Amino acid sequence: MEKNRLNQAEDLIKKAGSNSNSSEIIKEPREGIINVQVFEKALKDLIEAEDFIYSSLPSHKLNLEDSKLFAEKMLDARAKINEILADFGVLEKVKTENKISDLSKGLLIVTTKNNFKKALVKLGIDVQQIIVAGVPLEVSDMKEINPKIPEAALQGISKKIEHTKNDINRKIENIGLKKVLVIAEPDINGEILGKRSKEIYNAHINLESNLKDISADRLIEILLEYPK
């Protein structure tokens, strides 16, 4: 049964590759090496998406929550398929990077961890447009994150908060990044950072699971969702 599902998923990958978006430049493939890890992840995404086919029998109709989960798995698979095709010269990676760079112009992106920053830079965000807020933006928020934190520790955190805010204000004033976008994971740190950034900077908030593995396609969707 599992082997049959793998074969079905492989067929879906082949079809997805042959039905690429018309805005992409499709070229003849060159010699290359299959990234097996990425291929296996694409298969896993498609197999997880396939579960919705059986769970939605006989109508195959999905409610809103399941539709989002199904679409997320399909988009993740597509991004990985595109990555493999790019390795063989069929698709041009530079296209996506240029699009992300264009869509992120004028945006200051605030996130919570350095590995999230690295993931965003890898996909085409200018490193100068990213702030890593390793602490919340208010001391009171730190108490909400960790109610048992000693008062003595809050003094050092208060200085870090001040430095973070100064960095944000400096980029807003000196670089002209007038719009703030919070991209973080949906944990307490991300939720509190998003809420406070909304209050202080009128930031747009996007909380994304597995942010360090975010795909270029998903990042483009997030940037397109930012209010103009």
Q: Convert the pLDDT of each residue in 171-186 to its tens digit.
A: 999 888 989 999 999 9
Residue 5 has pLDDT above 90, yes or no: no
Question: Which range, of 17-21, 88-92, 119-123, 198-202, averages the lowest pLDDT?
Answer: 17-21
Work out the pLDDT band at 164, boundaries 50, 70, 90: very high
Judge whether 130 and 117 are in contact, CB under 8 Å.
Answer: yes
Residue 151 is encoded by which pair of tokens? 């008062």
The stretch 151-171 carries a mean pLDDT of 91
The dihedral sign for the CA sequence 133, 138, 139, 141: negative
Ranges of CATH 3.40.1360 domains, the chain: 96-225
pLDDT at 83: 87
Looking at the structure, give the CATH architecture of the domain made up of residues 96-225.
Answer: 3-Layer(aba) Sandwich (3.40)
Residue 147 has pLDDT above 80, yes or no: yes
pLDDT at 19: 42
pLDDT at 93: 63
Q: Give the 3-state secondary structure of residue 107.
A: strand
Judge whether 164 and 137 are in contact, CB under 8 Å.
Answer: yes
What percentage of the chain reaches a pLDDT higher than 90? 60
pLDDT at 10: 54
The stretch 194-206 carries a mean pLDDT of 96
Residue 117 has pLDDT above 90, yes or no: yes
pLDDT tens digit sequence for 35-91: 999 999 999 999 999 999 999 999 999 999 999 899 989 988 988 998 899 889 887
Whether the upstream peptide bond of residue 58 has omega within 30° of 0, thus cis, is yes
Judge whether 56 and 123 are in contact, CB under 8 Å.
Answer: no
* DSSP string computed for 132-177: E-SS-SSHHHHHHH-TT--HHHHHHHHHHHHHHHHHHHHIIIII--
Work out the pLDDT band at 211, boundaries 50, 70, 90: very high
Residue 17 has pLDDT above 90, yes or no: no
C-alpha to C-alpha distances, 35 to 41, 42, 47, nearest whole angstrom:
10, 11, 19
What percentage of the chain reaches a pLDDT higher than 70? 87
Q: Name the one residue in this structure whose structure tokens are 């698979």.
A: 77
pLDDT at 114: 95
pTM: 0.62
C-alpha to C-alpha distances, 197 to 22, 138, 205, nearest whole angstrom:
38, 10, 8
The gap between the terminal CA atoms of the chain, to the nearest Å, is 48
Residue 25 has pLDDT above 70, yes or no: no
Residues 6+ apart with CB under 8 A from 145: 136, 188, 189, 192
